[in-house]
């Protein structure tokens, strides 16, 4: 989160359509806890504002690259049992920020933070158990940790728990149970979970097929700034179905365009086809060729063939301009919607 169905992200599952597995900026790590430092929760702030303030100052130093300053401050807070600081020390040891990479030490810090019910620590510790880094590989233990974090309301934990049930990691595969956890995470705006659930509803091979629900969850993913959510939504809107016999090409083109500009090769190829034919958008064969060039460079199926076929019908100046435009292309992240509304997507 990408195209049709499932890719593991912790674990790491994101149901992926072939494209979800593409390399590059469109396929980022989905576990936010691995990359970002947590902030104190409301209870932490109310319990000890001095600790929270010290934590915040250390966070500012960390973000400025002063890892030594942050490390010293968080160690002091950790000695006082401050959960977010314990978690952050785990992150620093896992990723080698201000200290050498040490998975065993990272696991110990996560374990201490987990005792303080820090959801991110439970999720990261679960991942270490899946990977066997710093701790014994134990998918069953990982599943239990994810269940604990999920009960605390962690959307990434719920997403990864759904992934575990979908894959049968640490438990018997249970797609219906996976859908339950994906839904819980998706309703919190978790894009990969929403995308996966949309795919499950669209495919209908493990849960009952429901294209309206598929559209709704793809829209949630798209609103959260997920490029593959835009691609899946655009692709769905472009095809007729029993509930919607007439494709909504205007909206389909919009979502495909967002995904294409974000670097999703399948969306680029699809948009190129629509531009070449003038379906749902004004015919523009030069721009179509631009997208075919870009998609072909990313390995999209049939894009190279489409590029070559269209090039044969265009003049040399047009071909040269299209190639220059393609070479100058740089992906633009999909925007995050100002509200969580999924209406009229």
DSSP conformational letter for 20: G
Scored b (16 or more CB within 10 A) or e, 81-101 reads: ebbbbbbbbbbbbbeebbbee
- What would the 3-class secondary structure string for 111-126 be? HHHHHCCCHHHHHHHH
CA dihedral sign, ordered 311, 313, 319, 323: negative
What ranges make up the beta strands (E) of the chain?
Answer: 5-8, 13-16
pLDDT over 70 percentage in the chain? 84
CB contact burial 309-335 (16+ within 10 A = b; e otherwise): ebbeebeeeebebbeebbeebebeebe
Task: Say what the pLDDT of residue 77 is.
Answer: 95
Nearest alpha-carbon partner for 186 in 211, 162, 151: 162
What is the predicted pLDDT for the residue at 39? 54
Give CA 312 to chain center in angstroms: 38
Q: Which residues contact 232 (CB under 8 A, 6 or more apart)?
A: 2, 3, 17, 195, 198, 199, 202, 218, 221
Tell me the pLDDT of the chain (345 aa) as tens digits.
333 233 333 444 444 332 332 333 233 233 334 444 555 555 554 567 888 889 989 999 999 999 999 999 999 999 999 999 999 999 999 999 999 999 999 999 999 999 999 999 999 999 999 999 999 999 999 999 999 999 999 999 999 999 999 999 999 999 999 999 999 999 999 999 999 999 999 999 899 999 999 999 999 999 999 999 999 999 999 988 877 778 999 999 999 999 999 999 999 999 999 999 999 999 999 999 999 999 999 998 899 999 999 999 999 999 999 999 999 999 999 999 886 544 444
φ, ψ at 29 (rounded to 5°): -70, 135
pLDDT at 4: 29
Predicted TM-score of the model (pTM): 0.82
At 264 the pLDDT is: 97
What number of CA atoms fall less than 13 Å from residue 150's CA on the CB side?
A: 23
Residues 24 and 219: beta-carbon distance below 8 Å: no
The full 3-state SS of 54-108, as one line of letters, equals HHHHHHHHHHCCCHHHHHHHHHHHHHCCCHHHHHHHHHHHHHCCCCCCCHHHHHH
Question: Could you tell me if 123 and 31 are in contact, meaning their C-beta atoms sit under 8 angstroms apart?
Answer: yes
Q: Using only C-alpha atoms, what is the Rg of the chain?
A: 23
Interacting residues of 195 by C-beta distance below 8 A, sequence separation 6+ = 1, 2, 14, 15, 217, 218, 221, 226, 228, 229, 232
Dmax over CA atoms of the chain, in Å, equals 72
Supply the pLDDT for residue 47: 60
What pLDDT was estimated at residue 37? Answer: 53
* Residue-wise pLDDT tens digits, 332-342: 999 998 865 44
Q: Identify the pLDDT of residue 19.
A: 32
């Amino acid at each position: 989160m990408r195209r049709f169905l499932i890719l593991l992200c912790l674990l790491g599952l994101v149901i992926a359509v072939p494209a979800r597995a593409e390399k590059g900026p469109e396929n980022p790590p989905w576990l936010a806890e691995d990359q970002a430092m947590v902030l104190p929760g409301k209870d932490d702030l109310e319990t000890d504002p001095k600790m929270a303030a010290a934590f915040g100052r250390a966070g500012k130093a960390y973000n400025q690259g002063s890892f030594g300053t942050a490390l010293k401050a968080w160690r002091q807070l950790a000695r006082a049992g401050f959960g977010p600081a314990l978690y952050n020390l785990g992150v620093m040891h896992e990723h080698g920020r201000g200290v050498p990479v040490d998975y065993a030490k990272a696991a110990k810090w996560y374990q201490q933070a987990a005792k303080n019910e820090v959801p991110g620590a439970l999720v990261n510790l679960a991942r270490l158990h899946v990977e066997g880094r710093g701790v014994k590989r134990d998918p069953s233990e990982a599943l239990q940790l994810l269940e604990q974090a999920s009960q605390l309301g962690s959307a990434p934990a719920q997403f990864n728990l759904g992934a575990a049930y979908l894959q049968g990691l640490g438990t018997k595969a249970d797609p219906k149970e996976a859908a339950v956890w994906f839904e819980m995470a998706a309703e919190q705006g978790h894009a990969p979970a929403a995308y996966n659930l949309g795919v499950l509803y669209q495919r209908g091979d493990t849960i009952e097929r429901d294209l309206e629900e598929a559209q709704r969850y793809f829209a949630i993913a798209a609103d959260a700034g997920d490029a593959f959510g835009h691609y899946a939504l655009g692709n769905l809107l472009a095809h007729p179905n029993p509930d919607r016999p007439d494709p909504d090409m205007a909206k389909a083109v919009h979502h495909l365009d967002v995904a294409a500009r974000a670097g999703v090769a399948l969306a680029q190829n699809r948009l190129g086809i629509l531009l070449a034919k003038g379906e749902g958008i004004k015919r523009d064969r030069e721009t179509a060729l631009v997208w075919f060039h870009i998609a072909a460079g990313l390995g999209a199926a049939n894009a190279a063939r489409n590029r070559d076929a269209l090039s044969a019908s265009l003049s040399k100046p047009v071909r040269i301009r299209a190639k220059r435009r393609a070479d100058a292309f740089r992906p633009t992240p999909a925007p995050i919607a100002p509200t969580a509304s999924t209406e009229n997507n």
